[in-house]
Structure 1
């Protein structure tokens, strides 16, 4: 009986490991062959679901001092051995866009074998006084957002028009992350 329990535990562990999202960290120089839109490479996140999907998320910015401040997020996916841009978005702001690199998450929220990723950024004025905080979510070729403004003490959350189309499990996860986030 003890061996059966051990075998079941081992099989469960293997199955769970196979379904996990893996994040790989490399020096940004390793991504020199990616044609990112900005001039300055901010950060890169390489994320995969074992034997199902490989992604590279690239944050870059326009040249320093250019107004409005412009930040790009591009999602590259490996298709037939070649990296292709699967999703691409551009954020602009008359002040400064601050990427909160330590505030991000990767998961497979609906079990479809595709990486779901969220990133946090804020918009500040020229004096770096924070004006708003945003959660940018990437699923497949689409982006979704949740945001809150300093003007109302971050009490009212605003959702992108397409947010309701997300699967309930993903909406629940993102809402929990958003509610726990220290926005100030």
Structure 2
């Protein structure tokens, strides 16, 4: 019986050590004074932590409503010495509008380096609100990687950023599996 309890404890403690914690709060909990995001409107905020390793905040923001071209901003903040510091950012512009798929994201530590690999989905739409393309943004080891599919070919083929091939195989396979299972329409 003691062996069963010990083995169960070891398995549970291994799960807890490798766990990624994702916290969702009201967007108003992220004031611009603490997180000086680029846009004027917060679209999506995710707190993602690996216990005893790192604390992250990922923010998507946009410019004013009805501006053309539309602009979408992604920023990564990491907590160091009890202060949030911007690590990296990227922006996107499009004639039409850009949409963040708030319910389509994933957080993992696929390469077990105690750092979050974050996957986000966004889409580009024309001015008639018809979707033109879907984009996967992978943020891993402070680098951006992309996969894109277009409406032109019914989202059948995918285009990968040049640096995608340099990803560790464990990350690459998990991300491609996620992308292939995604309903892009």
Whether TM exceeds 0.5 here: the answer is yes
Q: Which residue of 2 aligns with 1:22?
A: 21
Q: Is the 8 A contact 1:108 1:115 kept in 2?
A: yes
- 2:146 is paired with a residue of what secondary structure? strand
Quote the Cα distance in structure 2 between the aligned partners of 1:64 and 1:91: 15
Distance in 1, Cα, partners of 2:45 & 2:103? 12
How many Å apart are 1:48 and its aligned residue? 0.4
Matches within 5 A, 1:89-104: 89-104=90-105
Looking at structure 2, the residues matched to 66 and 91 of structure 1 have their Cα atoms a distance apart, in angstroms, of: 13
- Structure 1 stretches of at least 4 aligned residues deviating more than 3 Å after TM superposition: none
Q: What is residue 45 of structure 1 aligned with on the other side?
A: 46
Q: Distance in 1 between matches of 2:132 and 2:121?
A: 14
After TM superposition, the score normalised by the length of structure 1 is 0.97
Aligned residue pair count: 183
Secondary structure in 1 matching 2:162: coil
Uncovered stretches (5+) of structure 1, i.e. residues with no partner: none
Structure 2 unaligned spans of 5+: none
Q: CA deviation at 1:139?
A: 1.0
| Equivalent position of 2:84 in the other structure | 83
What is the Cα deviation at residue 183 of structure 1? 0.7
Rounded Cα–Cα distance in structure 2 between residues aligned with 1:169 and 1:141: 17
Q: Secondary structure at the match of 1:70?
A: strand
Question: Which residue does 1:119 correspond to in 2?
Answer: 120
Deviation at 1:80, TM superposition (A): 2.1
* CA distance in 2: counterparts of 1:141 and 1:10, whole angstroms: 34
In the alignment, the residues of structure 1 paired with residue 126 and residue 175 of structure 2 have an alpha-carbon distance, to the nearest angstrom, of 27
Question: Match of 1:153?
Answer: 154
Deviation of 1:140 after TM superposition, in Å, equals 2.6
1:56 and 1:98 map into 2 onto residues whose CA distance is 19
Q: Name the SS for the 1:174 alignment partner.
A: helix
SS in 2 for 1:144: strand
Name the stretch that deviates more: 173-182 or 24-33: 24-33
In structure 2, what is the Cα distance between the partners aligned to 1:80 and 1:140? 20
Displacement after TM superposition at 1:41 (Å): 0.7
Counterpart residue number, 1:6 = 5
State whether structure 2 residue 58 is matched by structure 1 residue 57.
yes
RMSD value, Cα: 0.9
Q: Following the alignment from structure 1 to structure 2, what is the Cα–Cα distance between the partners of residues 119 and 63?
A: 22
Q: Deviations over 1:21-60 (max 9, x none)?
A: 0001111111102100000111110000111010000110
Q: Deviations 1:70-109 (Å, cap 9, x if unpaired)?
A: 0001010112222111120101110110111000000111
